[in-house]
Amino acid sequence: MKTIITPSMLIVSLLLSASGHALELLEEADLAQTVAQDGLDISFILPTNGWTINTMQLTDQSGIPATIKPGYEFNAGNILFKDIAVRGCVQNSIGGDCTSAGTHGFRLILDSVGNIGDGSPMLNIQTTLSGATQKVRVYMDKIAIRNSLGLNEATLIDFNNRDTTVASAYLNRDYIDFLPTTSTLFTLQLGGELSGRMISFGATSFNTINLGEIRLVDKVDTGFGGNGRNLRFGLTLTDVNLSNAGLDMTPEGLAFSTPSLTGLDITMSNITTNTSGVTMGSIGVRDLNLSQHSLILTGK
């Protein structure tokens, strides 16, 4: 007996033998429990001497448009940030030693909140210090400019806060210290955050930010203390509370507001001009309240 199997019979047989499952909507919570959580927790272990970058540059390829400032449309060039590095330190004080925290460093936490369907998705991005890390030291030697050909480099800001406590590669490194109030360096919220802002800073409070000694120089001043056309001073910011600060789009432009910045201290110490070793003293502003103010950037 010969049986002829047609394509239609084959399809019916497959359908009858297959399971009766259909594609169903899987809720976000169920998906998180099944395949993963709704975020990532990434740990960065810094080398003993930190991450290093020789030079970072911002390039202007076209200069300033003639409609804004005639004659400057060909003044293209670069802004240079030289000798950059980042280290985590076990010390909890500004300045002084910076002993590497070993296997501890930073944690980057990405956590999604809300649902796409109801129009309120939000992404929390948080950076915290982990383990023995107490402060962050950012090394930067200077900020300079040069023309589009890579010539005529001129220093704008020269940091003069040498770290001699680490390996020889850092003996000529200047630095900025960040000492957070808690282990959290900063928290960003992107999307439909509860504050209603485009970008919102969460727990972002620094006890002290120390920029060391800064030198503002004339373009013909070559080297620290060169031919005397400079202004030198130490700059320290204390109680820098950027919690709940954020960026908003307003009819006037892009607004940056700082509702928690109520007790900022700014100190310029040991102010010195030219090559003189005589200081003019120190000046400062205490308990500066910027909670009711916004910086607005408006197009022209």
Percent over 90 (pLDDT), the chain: 1
- What is the spatial distance between Cα 201 and Cα 125, in angstroms, rounded to a whole number? 9
What is the average per-residue pLDDT within 53-78? 75
In sequence order, the β-bridge partners of residue 246 are 200, 257
**Chain center to CA of 193:** 20
- Range from 63-72, 146-155, 205-214, 279-288 that averages highest in pLDDT: 279-288
Q: What is the pLDDT of residue 293?
A: 78
Eight-state DSSP code of residue 50: -
pLDDT at 114 over 70: no
The residues, any chain, with a CB within 8 Å of residue 210's CB and separated by 6 or more, are 94, 95, 161, 176, 177, 179, 235, 236, 237
More confident residue, 262 or 200: 262
215 pLDDT tier (thresholds 50, 70, 90)? confident
Domain boundaries, the chain: 36-66+75-297
Q: Which residue in 271, 187, 278 sits closest to 231, CA to CA?
A: 271
pLDDT at 268 over 70: yes
54 pLDDT tier (thresholds 50, 70, 90)? confident
Q: Which two tokens stand for residue 195?
A: 């504050």
Q: Tens digit of pLDDT for each residue in 165-197?
A: 655 555 457 778 888 877 777 777 776 655 556
Q: Tens digit of pLDDT for each residue in 278-289?
A: 788 888 988 888
The residues, any chain, with a CB within 8 Å of residue 277's CB and separated by 6 or more, are none
In sequence order, the β-bridge partners of residue 128 are 107, 184
- What is the spatial distance between Cα 121 and Cα 253, in angstroms, rounded to a whole number? 24
| Predicted structure pTM score | 0.59
164 pLDDT tier (thresholds 50, 70, 90)? low
Q: Tens digit of pLDDT for each residue in 4-43?
A: 544 454 444 444 444 444 455 556 555 555 444 567 787 7
Per-chain mean pLDDT for the chain? 73
Q: Tens digit of pLDDT for each residue in 40-51?
A: 787 777 777 677
Q: Which two tokens stand for residue 28?
A: 């976000």
The residues, any chain, with a CB within 8 Å of residue 269's CB and separated by 6 or more, are 233, 234, 235, 236, 282, 284
- What is the spatial distance between Cα 21 and Cα 229, in angstroms, rounded to a whole number? 79
- Nearest-10 Cα torsion for 192, 197, 198, 203: -90
Q: Tens digit of pLDDT for each residue in 244-263?
A: 777 777 778 788 888 888 88
